[in-house]
Chain A
């Protein structure tokens, strides 16, 4: 099998699909252990209320109930609060107040799921309602209710201020700028909404003292360490198993109160306890994404040379600061907001606030806030193009980084590894037939039809990350890999990253096949079980291929070098005199004299006398600490039609040219792009988690929080350019989130372009028919609040 002329790479069918298309996947909710009990969480109906009393007597009297756990129970075990991924604490079960609608108040363990759910209704909770803080823009007002009065000395709802870039230099650029355009831009609160909700089967073996949890996690090793730190359990007595995962998108990075409750439930009852969220629980209480209230300013010359970008952000982090991101970066990688352009000076200031909404954040295929950053700069570029009356493609071509500028140091401190941006944009324009589209648009405008063309050019920063700069809860973001080669030459790769649909079992087998020259089918990939795999921080932020993929290549190369020594002994040649062709070491100048990997593997395990210092076997391990992030990029073009009578948007075409470096399995890459583009349609056109003034969640089901369907998606038109990463062993860059990062801006830009005849320059997501109609009416409104 070969692709791009490289052994092992190419459109290999996914190894995972055999079980999935037969309905033979094994998800957490498929797991049934002997004697297993079922948990259910009682949740707060209030967004903000004092907890006066929790009466569990009737629930405990239910004949099928085995345990009822409250905040008071947990406080006795010192487990009522747990650390978040951002250095804050979060209530596992409320003890003093509830701080968002849906917050966990009590946990019932019963013989059946039905009985557990029934028993929730028998718990009598007395709340004293408090005024909630729902709108982040009022969170810092004088007299705003203080949400986190549990924190010592906390008198307001302020979490952090953080900035990047050179404020003074940026101000200077703006002061002398010929043109400045400013715009408030909201990236509303959305949700990853994986089809499989979050859950756990916790199994504490009282005899061995070993806790096994089968759970929906994108980061099994990080979860194990966090459980050890939270619960004080010895880490070698914790095994985290992540079986098949039905989508993660960042939703399954963190640890949820329900997990801790299930573990406590198993400890208390001595039996396994399963807890699976229902859909509403998932949407209302687990990690949301975005909720960035941004103000962008862009400075340029009259001939369209962008000189500066200035951004302020109000970040709504909900009731507990639980965002998942490297410790040094409370706003994630938002400071990559200069995007793909050569900009003299830039500065951003981000303020995080508490509100009475669910905690979490960053989640949803965003590469640590790059989604927000890319959306902002691409909206600002279109605003500027409109102001200068310049074609948005032309404005971008004038400002995109040029190939010879790489590696490029940005005004906010990133070092982009490689790229040829104009080539990629031109390719997208060619595929789209851009000039013809503009001509068609002009014709349609004459007839009163609303057609729009939107461009987005994004630069991603993925593969976190260099351990010097990046850690989560003190855990460095390097990944291990372990490769065993059996005597017959079959290989088993053990990795720390966890597939949730990305096809790791295929792609990573291809990397080993590529490096060892053996068939892809001869490589088994083991993942998702902390007892069987080396440590690593998991799959999110598009980091699997950049980090664990690199680790896999490195460990396979170690095996290959070891095989060289063994082959030298077999062929009675100095290892240095051997040369590699895929699958075989041969004596230089004598191709007939060689040994295959299979022969070498058998010899390595056999009686062949090995050179001094060689222990035998071929197995190897490694830890890969990435020297830099990788920087995939792409050019996206959306074509939309807007119905002026109804406000309904139809995405007619979508062209996506992605450059993610070397593609290991182009089919999987394209699948990832397809999914991300659909996500983009969802966010741009229909998704928002809005709240009413009392803090009621207005999107708690799939009837209210909409996922896009094939009916809203055009037939995607994909293209590629390949600019290898210079520092990744395979030249790969990662692609999982590229389309989610890049596509919303293209669609919004297209809709705003369609609405240009009405003088519209900006509209906030989601562009539902009602919102588009309101924009056409010229009415100011907020998309993230209840419609009055």
Chain B
């Protein structure tokens, strides 16, 4: 068994308490929720936080609810809970598509939405899904609450705008009528990280695409979305040719690297192919 180096441990039951603990333990403290990324990294001694602030008992962060015209997903919502949420699935099929292929049931039972975003793995599925949805992250800190678009949330691999002493509390997804969404992923095996994955969100009006969101992961798309492909879609009449063009653009504008999952050009190819498939499926779902 791999074992981590020494660390302090403290448990919070409220957001305030969590923030106070973060303040007390300083820069080298890390928040632990599901722990499915952080704990393995600690066991491999790739991560060595001096303190873990456990937020698993912060019940207020575990809710999924509709508030106004947004779906609010608490940071502590487990993957399995999001997958099981009828209201999330009704408004955003992309979230159920993505959750169905994130890791395995054991991880989904424990891993959290907030943890996934804050871990900021360049292959994270939810980062792409929420980017496609133009969701907003709610961050609390000693100076109160601030909101950041998910499209600005990630500042690099394993880096986010969440500062030391701050806590991601919620993700808000705007609910808009007249559209649908989808997420498509290719992995080497069930439960594996994606070779590439794409999410598509379409809002239709008068037979045209009023707004499009394309999320990409594992292919080094800047901030997990494909702005140029979205531009090509916006205002256009949906068609196979249009989706193919969007796929070409999305592929051209990502910057995947080679690793044992596959060479860069294959991943670039996938970015295009999966963009097309996600658009196709989202569009099919728009049909009554």
Q: Contact: B258 with A787, CB < 8 Å?
A: yes
**Binary flags per residue of B171-210, CB closer than 8 Å to A gives 1, else 0:** 0000000000000001011111101000000000000000
Tell me if B269 counts as interface (CB < 8 A to partner A).
Answer: yes
- C-alpha gap A276/B191 in the complex (Å): 27
Contacting residues of chain B (1-27) with chain A, CB-CB under 8 angstroms: 1-3, 5-6
Tell me if A786 counts as interface (CB < 8 A to partner B).
Answer: yes
Least CB distance from B266 to A in Å reads 5
Q: Contact: A768 with B262, CB < 8 Å?
A: yes
Partner-contacting stretch, out of A125-133, A241-249, A529-537, A698-706: A698-706
Q: Contact: B270 with A646, CB < 8 Å?
A: yes
Q: Contact: B270 with A712, CB < 8 Å?
A: no
Q: CB-nearest residue of chain A relative to B263?
A: A787
- C-alpha gap A507/B3 in the complex (Å): 39
Contacting residues of chain A (653-702) with chain B, CB-CB under 8 angstroms: 685-686, 690, 698-699, 701
Tell me if A184 counts as interface (CB < 8 A to partner B).
Answer: no
Q: Contact: A709 with B260, CB < 8 Å?
A: no
Q: CB-nearest residue of chain B relative to A708?
A: B189
Least CB distance from A131 to B in Å reads 23
Q: Contact: A787 with B260, CB < 8 Å?
A: yes
Interface centre among B189, B195, B258 (most CB of A within 10 A): B189
Given A645-B273, A787-B262, answer yes or no on A118-B5 (Cβ-Cβ < 8 Å): yes
* Category for how many chain A residues contact B: 35 or more
- C-alpha gap A121/B188 in the complex (Å): 35
Q: Contact: A769 with B186, CB < 8 Å?
A: yes
- C-alpha gap A479/B59 in the complex (Å): 62
Q: Which residues of A contact B192 (CB under 8 A)?
A: 703, 706
Q: Which residues of B contact A647 (CB under 8 A)?
A: 266
- C-alpha gap A774/B191 in the complex (Å): 23
Q: Which residues of B contact A768 (CB under 8 A)?
A: 188, 261-262
Q: Contact: A773 with B260, CB < 8 Å?
A: no
**Binary flags per residue of A614-657, CB closer than 8 Å to B gives 1, else 0:** 00000000000000000000000000000001111000000000
Given A698-B260, A709-B191, A773-B269, answer yes or no on A114-B2 (Cβ-Cβ < 8 Å): no
Q: Which residues of B contact A645 (CB under 8 A)?
A: 273, 277
Tell me if B104 counts as interface (CB < 8 A to partner A).
Answer: yes
Contacting residues of chain B (250-288) with chain A, CB-CB under 8 angstroms: 258-263, 266, 269-270, 273-274, 277
Q: Contact: B3 with A699, CB < 8 Å?
A: no
Q: Which residues of A contact B189 (CB under 8 A)?
A: 685-686, 706, 708-709, 711-712
Contact of A113 among B1, B6, B186, B269 (CB under 8 A): B1
Q: Contact: B188 with A706, CB < 8 Å?
A: yes
Interface of B is mostly: loop
Q: Contact: A117 with B3, CB < 8 Å?
A: yes
Contacting residues of chain A (106-141) with chain B, CB-CB under 8 angstroms: 113-114, 117-118, 121
Q: Contact: A770 with B266, CB < 8 Å?
A: yes
Given A686-B189, A712-B189, answer yes or no on A770-B261 (Cβ-Cβ < 8 Å): yes
- C-alpha gap A117/B44 in the complex (Å): 11
Q: Contact: A788 with B186, CB < 8 Å?
A: no
- C-alpha gap A509/B65 in the complex (Å): 59
- C-alpha gap A701/B189 in the complex (Å): 15
Contact of A769 among B44, B188, B260, B277 (CB under 8 A): B188
Q: Contact: B263 with A788, CB < 8 Å?
A: yes
Q: Contact: B190 with A646, CB < 8 Å?
A: no
Tell me if A279 counts as interface (CB < 8 A to partner B).
Answer: yes
Given A699-B260, A787-B258, A787-B263, answer yes or no on A712-B190 (Cβ-Cβ < 8 Å): yes
Q: Contact: B259 with A787, CB < 8 Å?
A: yes
Q: CB-nearest residue of chain B relative to A690?
A: B260
Least CB distance from A24 to B in Å reads 20
Tell me if A161 counts as interface (CB < 8 A to partner B).
Answer: no
Q: Which residues of A contact B188 (CB under 8 A)?
A: 685-686, 706, 768-769
Q: Contact: A770 with B273, CB < 8 Å?
A: no
Tell me if A280 counts as interface (CB < 8 A to partner B).
Answer: yes
Interface centre among A29, A646, A712 (most CB of B within 10 A): A646
Given A770-B261, A770-B266, answer yes or no on A648-B186 (Cβ-Cβ < 8 Å): yes
Contacting residues of chain B (72-117) with chain A, CB-CB under 8 angstroms: 104
Given A118-B5, A709-B104, A709-B191, answer yes or no on A786-B186 (Cβ-Cβ < 8 Å): no
Contacting residues of chain B (131-188) with chain A, CB-CB under 8 angstroms: 186, 188
Least CB distance from A587 to B in Å reads 63
Q: CB-nearest residue of chain B relative to A40?
A: B3
Q: Which residues of B contact A711 (CB under 8 A)?
A: 189-191
Contact of B262 among A118, A701, A708, A770 (CB under 8 A): A770
Q: Which residues of B contact A701 (CB under 8 A)?
A: 44
- C-alpha gap A359/B14 in the complex (Å): 53
Q: Which residues of B contact A709 (CB under 8 A)?
A: 104, 189-191
Q: CB-nearest residue of chain A relative to B262?
A: A770
Tell me if A78 counts as interface (CB < 8 A to partner B).
Answer: no
Q: Which residues of B contact A391 (CB under 8 A)?
A: none
**Binary flags per residue of A696-728, CB closer than 8 Å to B gives 1, else 0:** 001101011010110110000000000000000
Given A113-B1, A113-B3, A276-B1, answer yes or no on A773-B266 (Cβ-Cβ < 8 Å): yes
Q: Which residues of A contact B6 (CB under 8 A)?
A: 114, 118
- C-alpha gap A113/B1 in the complex (Å): 9
- C-alpha gap A709/B3 in the complex (Å): 26
Interface centre among B5, B6, B260, B274 (most CB of A within 10 A): B260
Q: CB-nearest residue of chain A relative to B259?
A: A787
16 pairs, A vs B, C-beta closer than 8 Å: A114-B6, A118-B6, A121-B45, A279-B2, A685-B188, A686-B188, A686-B189, A703-B192, A703-B193, A711-B191, A712-B189, A769-B188, A769-B262, A770-B262, A770-B266, A773-B269
Query: What are the nearest 6 A-B pairs in CB distance?
Result: A770-B262, A711-B190, A278-B2, A645-B273, A646-B186, A770-B266
Which residues of B pack against A, CB within 8 Å? 1-3, 5-6, 44-45, 104, 186, 188-193, 195, 258-263, 266, 269-270, 273-274, 277
Additional A-B contacts beyond A646-B270, A646-B274, A647-B266 (19; CB < 8 A)? A113-B3, A278-B1, A278-B2, A279-B2, A648-B186, A698-B260, A701-B44, A706-B189, A708-B189, A709-B104, A711-B189, A768-B188, A769-B262, A769-B266, A770-B195, A773-B269, A774-B263, A787-B258, A788-B263
